[in-house]
Amino acid sequence: MHLHILGICGTFMGGLAALAREAGHRVTGADANVYPPMSEQLAALGIGLTEGYAPAQLDAAPEVVVVGNVMSRGMPIIERLLDSGLRYESGPQWLAEHLLRGREIVAVAGTHGKTTTTALLAWILDAAGRAPGFLIGGVPENFGVSARLGAGAPFVIEADEYDTAFFDKRAKFVHYRPRHLVLTNLEFDHADIYPDLAAIERQFHHLLRTVPGSGRVTWNAAAPALARVLQMGCWTPRASFAREAALAPDWGLRLEAEDASRFTVLQAGRPVAAVNWPLFGLHNADNALAAIAAAAGLGVLPEQAGAALARFGGVRRRMQLRGTVRGIRVYDDFAHHPTAVATSIDALRRRGGRARIVAVLEPRSNTMRLGHHTGELAGALGGADRIFLYRPPGLGWDPAAVAAGLGARASVSGDLEELVRALAAELTAGDDVLIMSNGGFGGLHGRLLAALGAPLSAGAAEPPD
C-alpha cells in the first residue's frame, strides 16, 4: 500500500511513518517544516519527503492519504484531496486498523510524563524478553528510535488527548482500544481544543470506556481529576500509585536519595524492589512507579523492572544534558506547562544542590500562546535563581507581566541572538541552564553552547505533533 502522510514530521506521524515502512508499505509524506532530525530519520528509512503542501503532490494518486491534525479545511491540498475522491484517513485510525489489531495494547495517557512513562514501560518489557512494539512521542536512548513494530504481543503507545483530524474531533487516544491503560495525571491543557478541564475529563472517560474488564487501569491516586474520571464509571480492575503514603495507594515508594535517583518500591506498603538509576527528580520517580505498577499487571516482577531501570538511558529532550562548557551545564527539557516547569526546576535543585539554576522558557504551546497559564508562570519559575523569558513572534500576551512578578532576577527578550549574548555574558562555572520549550527554540541550545566555546552541533529538536 502507498501511504502519503500530510504532517509527517510531527512526532506521532513520523513514528507512524516508520511503523508503516517497517510493515512493508511504501511511504511518502509532506510537511511545512522538513528539518533534522526527523527528516534524516525518515530519509534513512527510504521515505520520500516533500517540503510544503502543494496540491500537485496528490497527482501520484496514493492508495491512502493519512491526514495529520495540523491540516485544516481551506488549505489548497485539503480542498484538492476532498475533490479528488482519494481515500483519506487520520493517523490514529490508520494505525489502529492496520497495525494494532491483534496486539496487546498498553496505552499511557495524561498531561505530564506520558513520553517518559511510555519509554520506561517499553524498556521494562523489552528487558523482560517481551519484545514489545511501541510508538513514543520522543526518542528513548535505549532504543534510538521513537517507534518499532516489535516481535512480541505487547504494543506500548503514548496516548494523546489532542483531537484526531479536521474531520474527526475526537481525542486521538479513543482509536487505540487498550487492554492496559496507564493514567499519569490530568490538568488543563490544549486550550485551543478544550474549553475547560471538565471537557478533558470527559474525553478521558471516553478512553476509559474502551478498556475491557479483563484488562487493567493503573492510575495516579494523587490526581483529583483522575479520581473524578473514574467516578464517572469504570468497568476494569484498577491499581493505584502515588508517592504520598496518606493516600494508601496500591503502589508507593520510599525515597532513598533526595533527588529521587534511588528509591524503594512498595506494594501494599511492603518493599518489593529497589531502584538506583541515572534519572532524577520526583516527577521521574512518579513515572517509574507508574511503569513498574503497569508492568506488574503484564506479568513482570517488580524486582525485574527495578533492575531494568538501572540501565534506562532517558529520553531525548527530557532533562537532556546537551553539553558542559567551562563548568556550565546546558539542559534541554520539553516542559511547556507550569506544573512541568516547576517540577523540572525542582528536579535540578534536588540534584544540583547549591548550583545556580538559570531557567530559560519559550512559551510555545498553544495553551501558553493563548495566555491561559500566565497567572501561574511566576510561581512555577520561582524556584530558579535567574529567569530568561523569550517572547516569540505572534505571542498574544506580554511576558513582562510575568517577569515583573519575579523581580530583578527575570528578564524578557524577543530576539534569539540577543538572548544568546545575554546568557553567555552572565553564565559562570557551576551554573545549570535549563532551557524549556516544546519546540526547537530556534536551536538555542546549540547556539548557546557555541557561544560558550563548544563546537556547534548540527540538527534541531523534532517538532511536536
- pTM for the whole structure: 0.92
Mean pLDDT of 254-280: 97
Q: What is the pLDDT of residues 204-220, one digit of tens each?
A: 999 999 999 999 999 99
pLDDT digits (tens, 9 = 90+) for 62-96: 999 999 999 999 999 999 999 999 999 999 999 99
What is the C-alpha to C-alpha distance for residues 463 and 18, in angstroms, rounded to an integer?
16
- What pLDDT, in 10s, does the model give residues 263-272? 999 999 999 9
320-452: which CATH topology? Protein-Tyrosine Phosphatase; Chain A (3.90.190)
Domain ranges of the chain: 2-91, 100-309, 320-452
Residue 1 C-alpha from the chain's centroid? 30
Q: What is the pLDDT of residue 442?
A: 87
The DSSP annotation for 186-222 comes to -----TTT-SSHHHHHHHHHHHHTTS-TTSEEEEETT
Residue 456 has pLDDT above 60, yes or no: no
CATH class of segment(s) 2-91: alpha beta
pLDDT attached to residue 161: 95
Of 144-158, 212-226, 421-435, 442-456, least confident by mean pLDDT is 442-456
Does the structure show a pLDDT above 90 at 353? no
Peptide bond into 37 cis (omega under 30): yes
pLDDT of residue 323: 94
Residue 360's closest CA among 430, 442, 455? 442
What are the grid coordinates assigned to 24, written together? 512493508
Residue 459 pLDDT exceeds 80: no
Furthest C-alpha separation in the chain? 63
Confidence band, pLDDT 50/70/90 cuts, at residue 37: low
Report the alpha-carbon distance of residue 440 to residue 19 in Å, rounded.
24
Is the pLDDT at 465 greater than 60? The verdict is no
Predicted confidence at residue 461, as pLDDT, reads 43
DSSP assignment string, 28-88 = EEEES---TTHHHHHHHTT-EEEES--GGGGGG--SEEEEPTT--TT-HHHHHHHHHT--E
Percent of the chain with pLDDT over 90: 82
Tell me which of 97-111, 244-258, 355-369, 399-413 is least confident.
355-369
Run of H or E including 452: helix 444-452
> Helices 338-352 and 282-297, interaxial angle, to 10°?
110
Q: Return the pLDDT at 370.
A: 81
Rama region for 29: left / alpha / beta (φ>0; ψ in -120 to 50; rest): beta
CATH fold of 100-309 reads: UDP-N-acetylmuramoyl-L-alanine:D-glutamate ligase (3.40.1190)
pLDDT exceeds 60 at position 463:
no
DSSP per-residue letters across 314-351: -BTTSSEEEEEETTEEEEEE---SHHHHHHHHHHHHHH
